[in-house]
Amino acid sequence: MSSCSLLKIESAQEPLSKQDLNIRLLTQSLVNEANNRVEFAADSIISSSTNTELQKHAYRWKIETLNTFKNTAFQSSPKLSLMDTWTYMLQVRNFMETDAAMDYFGSYTSLVAKVSQDNVDDIEKKAKRFFKPEEFIKHQNFAYQYADKYPISHNNLRHNSVRSEYVEFLKVPDSLAFTTVGTLSEVVSNFSDKLTYSTDAAGKQFKWNTELMLKEKGFDSVQIKDIMLTVEKKVDRLSDIAENTPEKLDMALKSFSNDMAILFYSLNNQIEFVSEQMSLERQAIDTIIRRERIALDSIIMREREAVVDQAGEISVRVMDEAMIHLKDLTGTILFYVVLLFAVLLFLPFALGYFAGKVHQKIKQHKKES
């Protein structure tokens, strides 16, 4: 036995305390129950709602919850796993009570808020079993303060680890905060549980992400369900063939390859046909544009000639009217010039005549007197 290296490693490790081991089992059990609650609520929203955006939010909620629990609940330190999971549940619960959650989940806000509160109540109820009342109150205050300090939003549902602040809360050096990860068997057991959870989560995550992608592409719930059932049937068929009749796997793959080749061949033909149609349509459009351009040029030329003709007529009319007015003006000027000339010519003689006549009368009047 002394020559077995595994036994040497096993004996060199410090086992977890009974409290830490129970906390680890508790936390991992809690996340499974919480995941089931979230998944059931999200599926209810997706199946009962016709709002595409609301369905997308439900998908993101359960996907992010699944991923976060995988990171928080299976850490090497049981207490750190508990506090990370606890604070994340509180962050989600706090977000579900905000006005932003009303915009995010609409009329289903009360449902998701109740699920989030149930998760918080469950973890706090079970955490009381492993902490003394004073210690539980301290850990609860720490969890609430952390959740309030680092809230999550609809743009960011991710949770950051509480490790650094939890170490400060314990008031011990980082090197002494977590003294052991357990014996080799405990580490392997924890790794096995994490692997099991990750394997189950990977299948769900792939399915949910695919459904979310199809939803974002515009497929409705019925179409998504039909597509997923078809994919599952194909995968199950290939799995059965691979497990029961491996020799037929190559035939199935060849058949699948031939089907895909036919599909892509048909797709290429359709693309070529569409390309030819687009080319013909483009030529037709070029012809129409050319014809319209010629027609537009002819219209412009015709309008230009009409404008030139009208301009010529207007200029002639203006000249004629100008000459008529000039003739009238010239006659008027000549009349006044002649009149002025007559006045200037006969006025001196008239003045001299009347002056002589007056002089003659004055002279005759003197003779008589």
C-alpha to C-alpha distance for 154 and 232, rounded to whole angstroms: 32
Q: Which tokens in the block code for residue 284?
A: 């037709």
Task: Give me the pLDDT at residue 88, please.
Answer: 92
Domain assignments of the chain as residue spans, ordered by start: 12-244
* In the predicted structure, residue 177 carries a pLDDT above the cut 70: no
Task: Give me the pLDDT at residue 2, please.
Answer: 43
pLDDT: is 202 or 69 the higher one? 69
pLDDT: is 125 or 10 the higher one? 125
pLDDT: is 343 or 31 the higher one? 31
Note the pLDDT tens digit of each residue in 74-115: 888 888 888 999 999 999 999 988 888 887 888 888 898 999
Note the pLDDT tens digit of each residue in 294-331: 877 888 888 888 888 888 788 778 887 878 877 778 87
Mean pLDDT of 222-250: 59
C-alpha to C-alpha distance for 345 and 339, rounded to whole angstroms: 10
C-alpha to C-alpha distance for 118 and 96, rounded to whole angstroms: 12
Task: Give me the pLDDT at residue 118, please.
Answer: 92
C-alpha to C-alpha distance for 280 and 284, rounded to whole angstroms: 6
Ranking 80-89, 254-263, 277-286, 341-350 by mean pLDDT, the lowest is 254-263
Q: If you average pLDDT over each of 45-59, 248-262, 332-346, which comes out highest?
A: 45-59
* In the predicted structure, residue 3 carries a pLDDT above the cut 50: no
* In the predicted structure, residue 356 carries a pLDDT above the cut 90: no
Q: Do 201 and 34 touch, CB atoms closer than 8 A?
A: no
pLDDT: is 28 or 368 the higher one? 28
Q: Do 212 and 59 touch, CB atoms closer than 8 A?
A: yes
pTM of the predicted protein model: 0.55
pLDDT: is 317 or 116 the higher one? 116
Torsion of CA 187, 201, 199, 180, to 10 degrees: -10
Note the pLDDT tens digit of each residue in 117-166: 999 999 999 888 888 889 899 999 999 999 999 988 877 778 888 888 88
Q: Render 97-140 in DSSP notation, one character per residue.
A: TSHHHHHHHGGGHHHHHHHHHHHHHHHHHHHTTTS-HHHHHHHH
Task: Give me the pLDDT at residue 87, please.
Answer: 92
C-alpha to C-alpha distance for 276 and 283, rounded to whole angstroms: 11
* In the predicted structure, residue 6 carries a pLDDT above the cut 50: no
C-alpha to C-alpha distance for 35 and 70, rounded to whole angstroms: 10
